[in-house]
Amino acid sequence: MEEKKNNPIKVFLYISVWVIIWGTLGSLIDYPLYKNNIYLEGSIYQFFTFASTAIISIICAKFIYKKIEL
């Protein structure tokens, strides 16, 4: 059985791209909620917004990682 070797630079770049996607998605969701006074900056709800987008990003990243070869 042949073991799959990962290129560490490609894996690092893949993770970096997903961190950027997560931050962008979290900010796009957070901005209108914050500007419309749904919650205040630094509140637990802002934490939940970024935590939930992080979980979604991790799930998507793992799903896509299985489909591509790095």
pTM > 0.95 = no
Report whether 7 contacts 66 (CB < 8 A): no
pLDDT at 24: 96
Three-state DSSP class for 32?
helix
Confidence label for 7 from pLDDT (cuts 50, 70 and 90): confident
Spatial separation of the C-alpha atoms in residues 26 and 41, rounded to whole Å? 13
40-65 pLDDT, tens digit each: 989 999 999 999 999 999 999 999 99
pLDDT at 25: 95
At 45, list the tokens. Answer: 């709800």
Confidence label for 37 from pLDDT (cuts 50, 70 and 90): very high
Q: Where are the domains of the chain?
A: 18-67
- Other CB atoms within a 10 A radius of the CB of residue 61 amount to 17
| Sign of the torsion angle spanned by Cα atoms 50, 55, 60, 61 | positive
